[in-house]
Amino acid sequence: MSDQTPPDPVTRGGGRGLFIAFEGGDGAGKSTQAGLLGAWLTEQGYAVSHTREPGGTTLGRQIRELVLHGEDGSVTPRAEALLFAADRAHHVASLVRPALERGHVVLTDRYLDSSVAYQGAARALGHEEIRDLSLWAVEGLVPDLTVLLDVPAALGRARRREVHDRLEREADSFHDRVRAGFLELAARDPERYVVLDASGAPEELAAAVRDRVSLLVARADLARDVTAEGA
């Protein structure tokens, strides 16, 4: 790094809200856990926005189709990385930041770490390069907390049962590299992660997530009593 290197653009959360990402390999159970946490937060009277990547916006749904549902080989690795980053840029600017500014708890099923694990580690495009690309895309927004549901490739495959997209069709060795990529991210910044063994019972995992999140909601200045507008 030279003296001219600008300061790290990473910022925590944004506005008054709380930004929580669910990450993990295919079949880890992220959507189930995001749903259970969202239901609990809603019961407590918080305004919750549920969203996902890729595909949290209208543009994102078109990008999702392009990047996930083509034939094998239809998207080259760098084009794939750029399409996920484009989805993320639009998602953050048009949905995530506005919801955070309104004081919502934003729960996203996948975020930037998925790009680092799938494109950076598993496709070997480079951890730092892919992280920098996405940080540029989102103007430095990182989650207040990332829930990593750690799943071995074989368990993920068994849980998915039917294969429905291009990434899921990759070999177990690809999914092993994805898993290692996620674990490396969590090890680098442990206070920003809760890492859970995805083979645990859903209710037990949900209780562990709630324990961690309740500390954050107690500290945050969140909107209450607002009808959750969803994503």
51 touching ligand TYD, by CB under 6 A: no
Q: Does 26 bind ligand TYD (CB under 6 A)?
A: yes
> Using CA atoms, how far apart are residues 83 and 197, in angstroms rounded to an integer?
30
The site map against ligand TYD for 96-125 (x = CB under 6 A) is -------------xx---xx--xx------
Is-contact 24 30, C-beta < 8 A?
A: yes
Among 22, 46, 84, 193, binds ligand TYD (CB under 6 A): 84
CA-nearest of 84, 32, 91, 77 to 63 is: 84
Nearer to ligand TYD, 16 or 159 (CB): 159
Based on the shown chain and the rule CB under 6 A, indicate whether residue 22 belongs to the binding site for ligand TYD: no
Min CB(45)–ligand TYD separation in Å = 29
Asked if 56 is part of the footprint of ligand TYD (rule: CB under 6 A), the reply reads: no
Rounded CA gap, 182 and 165, in Å? 20
Minimal CA–CA distance to 208: which of 63, 59, 17, 40? Answer: 40
E strands, 38-127, where? Answer: 48-52, 105-109
Task: Please say whether the beta carbons of 28 and 207 come within 8 A.
Answer: no
Residues 167-196 that bind ligand TYD (CB under 6 A): 167-168
| Residue numbers at the binding site for ligand TYD (CB under 6 A) | 26, 52-54, 68, 84, 109-110, 114-115, 118-119, 164-165, 167-168
